[in-house]
Structure 1
Amino acid sequence: MKVPLSGPDITEREKQLVLEVLDSGQLSLGSKLEAFEAKMAAYVGRRYAIACNSGTSALHMLIRAMGIGEEDEVITTPFSFVSSSNCILYERARPVFVDIDEQSFNINPELIAKHITERTKAILPVHVFGQPANMEAIMDVAQTYGLRVIEDACEAIGAFWNGKMAGSFGDAGVFAFYPNKQMTTGEGGMIVTDDPELAALCRSLRNQGRGEDGLWLSHVRLGWNYRLDELSAALGIAQLERIEQLLGRRAEVAARYLEKLADVPGVILPVIDPRAEMSWFVFVIRLQNSLRRDFLMERLLAQGIGCRPYFPPIHLQPFYQQQFGYQQGDFQVTESVSASTLAIPFFSGLTEAQIDYVCRAIHQELAVCL
């Protein structure tokens, strides 16, 4: 049996809206983009939403829009996809890493304050795997030291912390819609904020720095082509219309994994903070130190089961080691978690037979690893 790691959930509704765009003849900066932004702002509970071509672009625009630049510092996590710190480097600022909590895999808010310097301008927490970071604690630190907060909620649409939606805590939040996400636009991202100046500036930055008057070829600042096209926006509308269905189905798949892997020796299942409502992005198991993660991964792949380490530590990526001199042991919790975690097949269309096949394979192969 072949079981892919992930897969998008596309229905006739998505196809219908995409065909509407093709029939309209307007493929960029049209009514679908405006509708998608309005629906996303309403869903998250923020005043403004600015769509763009990726979560990375959204993060980059916010770094620029907040005036973060050369020699400034932004506190963030080393356990994430690399773009959450790359976006800081784009503006020649420096990511300052803070180790993670071993249960949630999110940045440890208790360690943030001791990394703050006179150059610190912002905190960029990442809601890893769809579990929100402790945003109340993070916001307390930010307010104490006068720092901006950019929430990377790219993996956490529809998640809640203490009853408040991820992406609605900081000065701005960011979502992403790559095909493996809970909802997809193919490629795409979204900024959400309550700040009208920040929203206006990001709208300009995504469209080559065009002025707010919208005059053709009138550019008042340096910007980029970070626009989201109408076809992608149409996908986003359809996916957002049934977001609760998408999230609910993923929660069902997660529940089946939690049930079937609960008694497998050597497997540590995800731990959900009681204050958090999870939005399942991926399903990541952790293996006890006595087990060989890479051996298991090779054996699962040989049986047609998609799997992948999640995440390699950012600070140990070759580029970061070369530029900043990071070494093994600099962030011990991150490194320990990274070396022992494995993402297994997870998407809303996963069948019961596929789930059974994956769980049986894990059980059998771990027996060999012990």
Structure 2
Amino acid sequence: MPPNHRHGFPGKMITNSNYAFPLVDSSYDNQEILRCMETLLSGQLTMGQRVHDFELAFAKHIGTNYAVMVNSGSSANLLATSAIINPLRSKRLNMGDYVAVPAVCWSTSIWPIVQLGLKPVLVDVDPATLNLSIDSLLEAIVRFPIKAVLMVHVLGNSTDMSKLLDIVEKNSLLLIEDTCESLGSTFEGKSLGTLSDFGTYSFYFSHHMTTIEGGMVVAKNLEDYDLLRCLRAHGWSREQSNRTELEAMNPAIDPRFLFVNVGYNVRPMEIQAAFGLEQLRRLDEMNAYRKQNALLMRQSFEHNPKWHSQLQFPSSPLGVDACWFGFPFLINPKITMDYKRFTQLLMDARIDTRPIVSGNMDLQPAVRLFDIERSLAPFTGAQQVHDRGVFIGVHAKPIEPGRMAWLAESVLDAIAVTSQ
């Protein structure tokens, strides 16, 4: 059971939704607002001590050595992908190398691979988990000289991580874990995102915790930590552990503006870190509610007298403890129904829905504009997720039993109407 919800905060949880059951039920309250006001009054708005404090606290919370905050989860993927091709990294990829990525993913899981001159290879997913298909990955490795895997942990769940890590080790692959939807999920007690070369996280408003916008990249060693911090801010030397040495090697350059690598400007703001520090203090509590709500929502469906296995709920592989980002399901393939009308009926009932991530990425027109390897198609698993998959919100605070019962009843009624 989750701990008692935080008491003593001034005011109510803030929410702004026209839905009776929104995808996101806001997780912040006046405490975050007060921390932001303190930051504004401090006069230090650009990246500073609060960002550093948040990075240290986040790394400790998830059990990794280093964390580098950025302005979004998309930027986190960009930074991690940039790091694995950088000439200053001892083990790296070269332009033109192949990177496997699941066909059910977010667009900015793929675009950094394209933007940096690597070649994405779409692989299928297992509809039972919504995540990367190990069989499809093995086929990709046989057919292409795969050098890295960008593993997307979808909606809080994962693939068979034991098999994936074994494949990575045996084939000397680099691994990036896109954990933007799975903060709080674990494999054998270790946080997803910490099992690889780099893990990325998103703190977008709807995610497990929020900094309004924001993201994080985590790494295991000082070499990668230095590299990430350099790439994050212009490629300059200011945050490098060997800054003094670099400055001594370049005495003709003002040390405040010494550029030693390629770089971006994806720095976060102090106000985001202040928000994040407050959220991080109760992340475990919020995630406990997410887990409990997901379990109770499933029970509300299965205990409803109208239940006849109309829905298929995803399962978690051995060793994975999923902290659900949403409550996903697939319509039973035995049911012939009007999918668009089904989702519209839910929205008419003021139940917010969305596809699972963005469905089958292979169908997106943008994919055909670039050099993305699609020859492992048809992606039958991803297409099942695309055609029959839906998710609704699973919130970070208690949901009343009556509200869950109404939700289950409404979804089952919508299936009955649209399958006639």
C-alpha distance in structure 1 between counterparts of 2:271 and 2:203, whole Å: 13
Q: Deviations over 1:102-138 (max 9, x none)?
A: 2111112233233126742211111111013222211
SS in 2 for 1:95: strand
Note the C-alpha offset of 1:83.
Answer: 1.2
Tell me the residue number matched to 1:61.
Answer: 79
Whether 1:107 aligns to 2:132 is: yes
Match of 1:150 among 160, 176, 182: 176
Match of 1:292 among 338, 343, 356: 338
Match of 2:101 among 58, 76, 81: 76
Match of 1:180 among 199, 206, 215: 206
Whether 1:367 aligns to 2:367 is: no
Q: 1:181 is aligned with what amino acid? A: H
Note the C-alpha offset of 1:96.
Answer: 0.8
Tell me the residue number matched to 1:304.
Answer: 350
Matched ranges for 1:1-370 at <5 A: 2-67=20-85, 68-116=93-141, 119-211=145-237, 212=240, 213=243, 215-262=255-302, 263=304, 264-265=307-308, 266-289=310-333, 290-310=336-356, 311-323=358-370, 324=372, 326=374, 330-349=378-397, 351-352=399-400, 353-370=402-419
Note the C-alpha offset of 1:70.
Answer: 2.8
Note the C-alpha offset of 1:220.
Answer: 2.1
The percent identity for this pair of structures is 27
C-alpha distance in structure 1 between counterparts of 2:159 and 2:270, whole Å: 32
**Is residue 159–residue 317 contact of structure 2 (8 Å, CA) maintained in 1?**
no
Could you list the runs of 5+ residues in structure 2 that have no partner in the other structure?
1-18, 86-92, 245-254
C-alpha distance in structure 1 between counterparts of 2:94 and 2:36, whole Å: 39
Q: 1:175 is aligned with what amino acid? A: Y
**Is residue 160–residue 317 contact of structure 2 (8 Å, CA) maintained in 1?**
no
SS in 2 for 1:235: helix
TM-score of the aligned structures, taking structure 2 as reference length: 0.83
Q: 2:319 is aligned with what amino acid? A: R
**Is residue 120–residue 147 contact of structure 1 (8 Å, CA) maintained in 2?**
yes
Over 3 Å counting, the alpha-carbon distance change for 1:39 and 1:217 in structure 2 is: same
**Is residue 171–residue 195 contact of structure 1 (8 Å, CA) maintained in 2?**
no
Tell me the residue number matched to 2:251.
Answer: none
C-alpha distance in structure 2 between counterparts of 1:32 and 1:126, whole Å: 29
Note the C-alpha offset of 1:183.
Answer: 0.4
Could you list the runs of 5+ residues in structure 1 that have no partner in the other structure?
none
**Is residue 8–residue 184 contact of structure 1 (8 Å, CA) maintained in 2?**
no
Segment of structure 1 superposing worse, 10-19 or 179-188: 10-19
SS in 2 for 1:36: helix
Tell me the residue number matched to 2:3.
Answer: none
**Is residue 7–residue 179 contact of structure 1 (8 Å, CA) maintained in 2?**
no
**Is residue 158–residue 316 contact of structure 2 (8 Å, CA) maintained in 1?**
no
Q: Deviations over 1:312-334 (max 9, x none)?
A: 21111101134358599521111
Q: Which consecutive aligned stretches of 4+ in structure 1 deviate over 3 angstroms post-superposition?
A: 322-329
Q: Deviations over 1:138-186 (max 9, x none)?
A: 1211111111111111111111112222111101111111111010111
Q: Deviations over 1:292-329 (max 9, x none)?
A: 32221011111221111113211111011343585995
Q: 1:338 is aligned with what amino acid? A: H
TM-score of the aligned structures, taking structure 1 as reference length: 0.94
Q: 1:302 is aligned with what amino acid? A: D
Segment of structure 1 superposing worse, 117-126 or 280-289: 117-126
**Is residue 359–residue 385 contact of structure 2 (8 Å, CA) maintained in 1?**
no
**Is residue 321–residue 327 contact of structure 1 (8 Å, CA) maintained in 2?**
no
Q: 2:235 is aligned with what amino acid? A: G
Segment of structure 1 superposing worse, 352-361 or 304-313: 352-361
**Is residue 124–residue 133 contact of structure 2 (8 Å, CA) maintained in 1?**
yes
Segment of structure 1 superposing worse, 260-269 or 40-49: 260-269
Note the C-alpha offset of 1:20.
Answer: 2.0
**Is residue 316–residue 327 contact of structure 1 (8 Å, CA) maintained in 2?**
no
